[in-house]
Chain A
Amino acid sequence: MGGILKIAFKLLVNDRGKFTALLVGITFAVFLMVMMTSMFAGILTRSSSTVINIGAKMWVLDPAVNNVSSSIPMPDYVQDVVRSIDGVKYAVPLYSGGAQIKLKNGVYQAVTVIGLDDASLFGRPELIKGKIEDIYAENGFIVVQDAEIKKLGNPEIGSDFEINDHKGLVVGIARANISGLFGIPTLYTTFSRAISYLPSTRFTASYILVEPKSAKDIPHIKQEVGKLGYQALTDDEFIQKISDFYKFQTGLGINVMLMTAISFIVGLSISGQTFYTFILENLEKFGALKAIGAKGHELVSMILFQAGFTAFLGYGLGVGLASLIIMSAKLRMPDYAAQITNWNLGVAFVMVLIIASISSYIGIRRVIRIEPFDIFRG
């Protein structure tokens, strides 16, 4: 560290009151920004949990579908046509729907039922207990062990329940890669059992899962599916579509953006005001430095260093605090949907940079304008 920056560092940290106020301001702002965007990221990820857990490369769906749970069933011919498209390795139907099950204790519980293609079981979950072939057994269902499993009374293999006047039998316990958004337990069964046990519309396939032969076949597949009046999306595109729905059509995104903006303004206000006061109180000293022979760019570098150091330290503390809170919350509430991603770390970082830039700009303007002559005049 250059001597002049060391002086800047000591001037900053030795003024403990102001330094603490600056740090608290930036830490608090970063904490709020990271918390808000992390919760949003967690919600968005969970909203696409089925897409992520099933793991298909392409999904064929009705263009009006904007999230997994609001599927619009497609006629069987769509699957036949999709299978015949050049570049399609295979295509299988997927059932996704909601149901009420009656537990042994008489309580009704809403569940999400995923019906996997009978022949391939494409999109099957990873089992913790049981064997996947048991899904073909009479009344066989696989329960996903996530935060919601307790709502089913923590079933084990052999536990049974009633679903739409049919018996359901737990034949396996599966691991959940990502839990769902709405706090509803998930059951897997075969496609044929799903459509026979649950009330169905005339069309039954919620989605058609497609495995392209290669990535370069994807545009052609999309084009051909489009001709049928349906939409073929890669998994990433489907996730994006779902995210866009929650961001722009539910008010969720706007609210989170508003909260993030408010956090930013609060952080900027506290930090900007404190830093400005810090500069004002040291203005004469900066003027004295100028009189002694400090050049303008040296004073600017001092202020930038002070603002930057505080911003980065506050950023680290804010991110650390948010991580700690999220980790603690997840220990007590497994359902807690917050996820720190590179994206929200980046957003917070950019906002902290803006806070530091605006704060230092205000300070630099004052310091550049101070005339050493004013120091003599007193």
Chain B
Amino acid sequence: MASPAIRARDLAKWFGEGDARTMAVKSVSFDASFGEMLYIVGPSGSGKTTLLSMISGILKPNSGSVLVEERDIWKMGSDELADFRLNKIGFVFQDYHLFPKLTTLENVAIPLILKKRDWSESMKVAREYLDIVGLAQRAELPPVKLSGGEQQRVAIARAIASRPDILILDEPTASLDGDTGRKILEFVRDHILNDTRCIIIVTHDSRIFEYAHRIINMEDGRIVGEEHEK
């Protein structure tokens, strides 16, 4: 494996105070490397989404650090953190969160527009990424006209359009049937993953475990096991 893309150290997160305090993540440490497809799996309430949020610069941990390129992202200011997410992280949300009032092409172009790229250039680049996910012909349609699998691919195209080092997929198969889910994961592994990118997937769908290089098992906010690709 190549160098680590993310180094999470002693991450802990709790919600509420006093008697109402709930520990979501308890002192979790792990690395994720470039060229690696890492799964974080576990039952509902095990803390995997909280962990994902902390390593992607969305939810501040109560303790611990997240090192990317040797910098603790949680020591960044809010604007710098936003820039970090924009430039280093690509998100594929569980519900996709595509804008129904924009075209598919415009949805994919959003990270580029946020990076202050010219509108027409953003559209041109977005079209290339739509082509990568095989949806160039659907560019002018609104996302609601696409199937679930196609919307998932649009979300992936949007996530990779800004060429992030780290791609984060939250329950990518939750809304898809088994076949479509497997196709999406095959596509991600074969076309999106490369030596300069790390992919972290949160899922509890065991049907797609076969595509992982490594699987981190979580329970009650702790890492309880780790499996490597056979």
A376 and B111 in contact (CB under 8 A), knowing A3-B117, A285-B99, A293-B85? no
Identity of the chain B residue whose Cβ is nearest the Cβ of A297 in the assembled complex: B79
Q: Is A182 an interface position by the 8 A CB rule? A: no
| Residue in A3, A4, A289, A298 whose Cβ sees the most chain B Cβ within 10 Å | A3
Contact A373 B97 (CB under 8 A): no
* A376 to B170 Cα, complex, angstroms: 7
A376–B119 touching, CB < 8 Å? no
B82 touches A294 (CB 8 A): yes
In the complex, B58 has a CB within 8 A of chain A:
yes
Residues of A within 8 A of B106 (CB): 7, 10
Q: Are B78 and A296 in contact (CB under 8 A)?
A: yes
Residues from chain A with a CB closer than 8 A to the CB of B196 are: none
Tell me if A11 counts as interface (CB < 8 A to partner B).
yes
Q: Are A3 and B116 in contact (CB under 8 A)?
A: yes
Which residues on A sit within 8 Å (CB–CB) of B95? 284, 378
Which residues on the A side are within 8 Å of B68 (C-beta)?
none
Check if B85 sits within 8 Å of A377, measured CB to CB. no
Residue interface bits B77-95, CB-to-A below 8 A is 1, else 0: 0110011111101010111
Q: DSSP majority for the A interface?
A: helix
**B110 and A7 contacting across the interface, CB-CB below 8 Å:** yes
Residues 107 to 126 of chain B near chain A (Cβ within 8 Å): 110-111, 113-114, 116-119, 122
The answer to whether B114 touches A294 (Cβ under 8 A) is: yes
A110–B13 CA distance with the chains assembled, in angstroms: 88
The answer to whether the Cβ of A131 comes within 8 Å of any Cβ in the partner chain is no
Instruction: Tell yes or no: B52 within 8 A of A by CB.
Output: yes
How near does chain B come to A63, taking the closest CB pair, in angstroms?
65
- The residue of chain A having its C-beta at the shortest distance from the C-beta of B103 within the complex is A10
Contact in complex: A10, B49 (CB < 8 Å): no
Chain B residues near A (Cβ < 8 Å) = 49, 52-53, 56, 58-59, 78-79, 82-87, 89, 91, 93-95, 97, 99, 101-102, 106, 110-111, 113-114, 116-119, 122, 162, 170
A-B contact pairs, 8 of them (CB 8 A): A2-B116, A7-B110, A284-B97, A287-B97, A292-B85, A293-B84, A294-B86, A376-B170
With A3-B117, A288-B91, A376-B52 known, 13 other A-B pairs at CB within 8 A are A3-B114, A3-B116, A3-B118, A6-B119, A11-B102, A288-B93, A292-B86, A293-B83, A293-B84, A293-B162, A294-B86, A371-B59, A373-B58
The 6 tightest CB contacts between A and B, nearest first, are: A293-B86, A3-B113, A288-B97, A14-B101, A293-B85, A373-B59
